[in-house]
Amino acid sequence: MTMGMTTQTRVSRTTTRTNGNGLSRARVVVAMSRTRERRMKRARVVVDASANDAGSVAIDVADAFVVTSSRRRSIASACAFALAIGVNAEARAISGMNVAKDTREGFQFVYPVGWQEIQVDGQQAVYKDIIEPLESVALNVYPTQRASVREIGTASEVANTLVGKALTAPGAQAKVLKANERVDEAGHVYYSFEFVTKTKSYERHALTVVTITQGKFYTLTTGSSEKRWGKIKDRLQATVDSFQVYY
């Protein structure tokens, strides 16, 4: 996995008069800000674990879909309020969100400002905080013969199957806290659920939303460390609530 490193540059200029003859000397100070390399080294320790929790484990769940490697599409991102893309009321109430939109794959969602896109093999789109490695959102798109998530089972059944077999790292303890269903204006059925995972090295609190349309099974998962959950849960909930498909 390759994570981009961001370096910001600040340039300041000051002018100092040196004598009464009108001569002056200009001193240009160019200051390069420190990179985030040291913090990123700490982030790499658990970045692989967070990617697994985001759904990178490829399996066949209850014969509902067959997982294949998906090609990455370019995602147009722009700073905007969720209102600009017409998502539901919960997401509209949260400012400071970016928009991820892919018209070819037919989806859109919002994610917190400051998260950066990274490349993860087999995943459609991944954004994560480079300081807090467990804070991320990942989207997978798989082919399926099913027409609706209701054909797989209820929201609780699908949640327990996915959390138990696909959305947690190997050997992790996991528990589904709640699951529910929503239907958008176009009739697309979404299952969303909340769950927690625990390993020897970390505890993660996560949210997932899934839907099926036009032969595609969409799985979007976001989350954070259990310690940070209380501070960021509203933004993570807005991400899940904002997810929608077009077709």
Provide DSSP, 142-188: EE-S-S-GGGT--HHHHHHHHHHHTSS-TT-EEEEEEEEEEE-TT--
Average pLDDT over residues 152-171: 95
Instruction: Output the pLDDT for position 73.
Output: 38
Instruction: Output the pLDDT for position 94.
Output: 61
Q: Coil, strand, or helix at residue 31? A: strand
Sketch the domain layout of the chain as residue ranges.
46-245
Structure tokens at 116: 């950066």
For domain 46-245, the CATH class is: alpha beta
Average pLDDT over residues 168-195: 96
Average pLDDT over residues 52-64: 38
- The number of helices, as runs of H, and strands, as runs of E, in the chain is 4, 13
Average pLDDT score over the chain: 74
Q: Let me know: does 188 contact 200? Beta carbons within 8 Å.
A: no
Specify the range with the lowest mean pLDDT, choosing from 58-72, 77-91, 93-107, 140-154.
58-72
Instruction: Output the pLDDT for position 95.
Output: 77
More confident residue, 4 or 66: 4
d(CA 107, CA 214): 12
Does position 168 have pLDDT exceeding 80, yes or no? yes
Percent of the chain topping pLDDT 70: 62
Between the CA of residue 170 and those of 55, 57, 194, 198, 225, what are the distances in Å? 12, 9, 19, 11, 18
- Cα 194 to its chain centre, rounded Å, is 15
